[in-house]
Structure 1
Amino acid sequence: MRGELVEIGSEAELRELLGEPIPRAVTKERVRLHEIDREWLAASPFCLVATADAAGNCDVSPKGDPPGFTLVLDDTTIALPERPGNRRADGFRNILANPHVGLIYLIPGRGETLRINGRARLVREAPFFDQMVVKGHRPVLALVVEIEQIFFHCAKAFMRSALWRPETWDPEVLPPQPQIVKRVQQTEETLEELERYYGADYARRLYQG
């Protein structure tokens, strides 16, 4: 430990510490989807959706479906289907108060990520819902994002974390989900009931309300 906590209080201090971004990092931002962006979205089965409410309270929600689940409506608009979940709707409630969103798209095994920022709205029905059917289930709603900023992140974070290297994986480092739920939540279900809920039948119910 090197002494007391010292905060950064201004952008000038931040730049003094980090330095200026290289020109390529500054100019990589785009406002319309390139063909390679479309290809990335077609291959990605997973993204993180960041939102904030009117007071600035933040939320990040994972979204996943078969590759290509994000539908490109045009060069500046995409749509993400919503599937049955826990019904908290934290991110969606944020969007109703503050439309700004940030998305990070991953492709398993790839260190780069596609980042999209924009303004979102919630749609309960649209003709393109027919293109979002998975296993016979239409989405319950869709998140439509008007794109304001697009760029790729390099692979440094994934390389440092060794995220995609199977030899570093240790799924047993923490207890299974039923035990975690029982330890951190106030729930009436017994551990045995939770184990049945998160058991072999769990995957079959992914698209059921």
Structure 2
Amino acid sequence: MELAGLVEITSVDELREIVGEPLQRVADKARPGLHELDRQWLAASPFCLIATAAADGTCDVSPKGDPAGFTLALDDRTIAIPDRPGNRRVDGFRNVLSNPHVGLIYFIPGRGDTLRINGRARLVRDAPFFDEMVVKGKRPALALVVEIDEVFHHCSKAFLRSALWKSETWEPDAVASRAQIAKFLERPEDSLAELERYYGPSYANGLY
């Protein structure tokens, strides 16, 4: 697609001319395994995003959330993330089956800094540690096991700029409701009233 006036960057050298070089301590901060402080972060985090890409380049970013500590540190180089019932698209899992490389970012509500982990993932259907992933009596059917290549902490500038955690900036009703989006984009055959009931308070009953 041609866009008028677009000036594209086509090389790393050109990119560096604009943004410059990172400080050495920033360039060197990635580590090959978990520190105790990283383990503490995982134990306090209830939410992460997992980025994947298939062998053909198809990309996906999937959210994963559970009670804090849902990601298990199996050792200093390995973590495991349980899967829960969802929409069954399994876009990220399908990507992992053809290309194991993944990128993860872990959030703690109210914190601007984040924990980032890059590595290689395997999809497993059972393991002894599944017993540690039981929530509300439900054992996961699948888990993603990630062998860590690098781990590091990321600064809070994006969160500060966006004021993400400042509740006074939140406007959840500024856009269509989930039921309205489903009605107009996904399920036009269903009535809005039916969709509002589906996405209402009872929706939380099917999390596990």
Q: Normalized against structure 2, the TM-score is what?
A: 0.96
| Runs of 5+ unmatched residues, structure 2 | none
1:163 aligns to 2:159 (yes or no):
no
- Match of 1:128? 129
Query: What residue in structure 1 maps to residue 150 of structure 2?
Result: 149
CA distance in 2, matches of 1:5, 1:117: 32
Q: Distance between the aligned counterparts of 1:179 and 1:74, measured in 2?
A: 45
**Deviations along 1:72-109, whole A, 9 cap, x unmatched?**
10000000000000000000000000000000000000
Q: Aligned partners of 2:67, 2:90: CA distance in 1, in Å?
A: 21
Counterpart AA for 1:123: V
AA aligned opposite 2:110: G
Aligned to 1:180: 181
Distance 1:181 1:129, change over 3 A: same
Structure 1: how far apart are the matches of 2:45 and 2:190?
A: 35
Once the two structures are TM-superposed, the CA of residue 43 in structure 1 deviates from its matched residue by 0.2
Q: SS state of the match for residue 145, structure 2?
A: strand
Partner Cα distance (1:33, 1:188) in 2: 49
- CA RMSD for the aligned pairs? 1.0
Q: SS of the residue aligned with 1:204? A: helix
Q: How far did residue 186 of structure 1 move? A: 4.3
Q: Aligned partners of 1:86, 1:187: CA distance in 2, in Å?
A: 18
> What is the CA–CA distance in structure 2 between the aligned matches of 1:13 and 1:89, rounded to whole Å?
37
> Once the two structures are aligned, what percentage of the paired residues are identical?
69
Q: TM-score, normalised by structure 1?
A: 0.96
Instruction: Return the alpha-carbon distance in structure 1 between the equivalents of residues 83 and 18 of structure 2.
Output: 41
The alignment partner of 2:202 has SS state of coil
The 1-side partners of 2:63 and 2:189 are apart by: 26
Match of 1:79 in 2: 80
Aligned to 1:16: 17
Equivalence for 2:46: 45
Report what 1:119 is aligned to: 120
Cα distance in structure 2, aligned partners of 1:186 and 1:136: 32
Instruction: Give me the whole-angstrom Cα distance separating, in 2, the residues matched to 1:7 and 1:200.
Output: 47
Distance 1:80 1:187 in 2: 35
Query: Quick check: 176-185 or 33-42, which moved more?
Result: 176-185
- The residue type paired with residue 126 of structure 1 is A
Q: 1:173: Cα distance to partner?
A: 0.7
Task: Write the letter of the residue equivalent to 2:136.
Answer: K
**Alignment length (residue pairs):** 205
Q: 1:187 to 1:130 in 2, by over 3 A?
A: farther
Q: Which amino acid aligns with 1:7?
A: E
